[in-house]
Each structure stands twice: as C-alpha cells, then as structure tokens.
A = this chain, B = another copy of it.
Amino acid sequence: MPDRAAVRESRTTTRVRYPETDRMGVAHHTHHFTWFELGRTELMREMGCPYGELEDTRGVLFPVIEAGARFVAPARYDEELTITTRLVEVTGVTVRFEYDVARAETHEAVSRGFTVHASVKPDGRPTRLPADLRARLARGGR
C-alpha cells in the first residue's frame, strides 16, 4: 500500500552553467534531470536524512527506476533557476518525487518532471525500506 506522502516541499536555486548549454544556446534537456537531483538532495537533507548518509551508514540506495519531464521554456546561461521538489508517494520499496523548475526572477515555468526510486542494497538487489525511514519519509521528515 502506498502512503500518500505528507506534503513536504523544498526549494533551492541554481544557475545554468556554461557547459550545460548546447549549440542551440540553451541548457540541454539532460541537465534538467540533474537539477531535479539537486532539489531532491536538498529535500532529503531538510527531512533529516541526507541522501549520502543513507548510502553510507544505512546501506540503502535509491536508484532512479523511472523519470519523465516536460520542457516548457528554455533556460539560458547564468540564469538563476528555482527548483521546487515534493516527495509525493512512499511505498514499501519505492518513493516518488515531483519537480518544478522556474526562472527565479520571473517565476516563469521552465520544466516539470518526476522520478521514481527503488530501494536497493549496495549489490543492487531490491530491499524493503527500513520501517523507521519509511515512516519518516511518509510524515515528511522529523
């Protein structure tokens, strides 16, 4: 049974890096998934379970098993972007995040997306989320 996660939202900012731009003059679409990951990293930190610690001390990894995005408007070099991240669903073995990227100055939408993660052991085998971690995620942190 999935738990609809408590609405826990995190906001962080980044600037478009020069090597993220391509010959169209705008950020290549692959980098939006990297920005989603920045947002996810901050949300996990704010929820009291920094992702690096999960890997290092709990031996739980969350590889992406599904991802999708719509690219609404181009992001240009050096533009400041706001990444809004929400943890929206927690099950025994998966978690789902959703993302909005917008121009920091104008709030204009740049992209929207989601990722689904599976809980696995360092050797790659699926594993159930530790109960305390699942509970913490489902209630949106502390």
Contacts and interface: CB of A to CB of B under 8 A. Distances in A.
Range of interface residues on chain A? 35 or more
A22 interface: yes
Interface string A59-84: 00101111111111010111000000
Nearest to A68: B68
A61 B24 contact: yes
Interface of A: 15, 17-19, 21-26, 28-31, 33-34, 37-38, 41, 50-52, 55, 61, 63-72, 74, 76-78, 124
- The 7 tightest CB contacts between A and B, nearest first, are A68-B68, A21-B23, A29-B64, A19-B28, A23-B25, A52-B78, A30-B33
